[in-house]
Amino acid sequence: MTCTRLSPNRTSPRNHAIDTVTIHCTAGQGTARQILNMSHFTGYDPDNGASCNYAVGKDGSIGLCVDEGDRSWCSSDRENDHRAITIEVSSEAVSPYKVTEKALAALIDLLTDICGRNGIKSLVWSNSKADRVNHRGGCNMTCHRDFAAKACPGDYLYAMEGDIAAAVNKRLEEGEEVTQEQFNAMMEVYLTQQREKETSSWSKEAWEKAASSGVFDGTAPQAPLSREQASLVLDRLGLLPEGES
Distance CA 64, CA 76 (A): 20
User: Quick one: the chain helix, strand, coil %, rounded to 5?
Assistant: 45, 10, 45
pLDDT number for residue 7: 98
Q: How confident is the model at residue 236 (pLDDT cuts 50, 70, 90)?
A: confident
pLDDT number for residue 177: 53
- For the domain made up of 3-174, give the CATH fold: Lysozyme-like (3.40.80)
Helix, strand or coil, per DSSP, at residue 128: coil
Q: How confident is the model at residue 184 (pLDDT cuts 50, 70, 90)?
A: low
pLDDT number for residue 64: 98
Burial of 236: CB neighbours in 10 Å, binned 0-12, 13-18, 19+ = middle
Segment 63-73 mean pLDDT: 98
pLDDT in tens, 125-165: 999 999 999 999 999 999 999 999 999 999 999 999 999 99
Amino acid in position 164:
I
pLDDT number for residue 238: 72
Distance CA 232, CA 216 (A): 9
Q: What is the pTM of this model?
A: 0.72
* 154 φψ region: left (φ > 0), alpha (ψ -120 to 50), beta (else): left
Distance CA 179, CA 182 (A): 5
List, by residue range, all CATH 3.40.80.10 domains of the chain: 3-174
Task: Show Cβ contacts of residue 195 under 8 Å, excluding neighbours closer than 6 positions.
Answer: 220, 222
Question: Which run of H or E residues covers position 54?
Answer: strand 54-56
Q: Which residue has the higher pLDDT, 62 or 231?
A: 62
- Whether residue 241 has a cis bond before it, omega within 30° of 0: no
Segment 24-40 mean pLDDT: 97
> What is the percentage of the chain residues whose pLDDT exceeds 70?
73
> What is the percentage of the chain residues whose pLDDT exceeds 90?
70
Is the model's pLDDT at 47 over the cut of 50?
Answer: yes
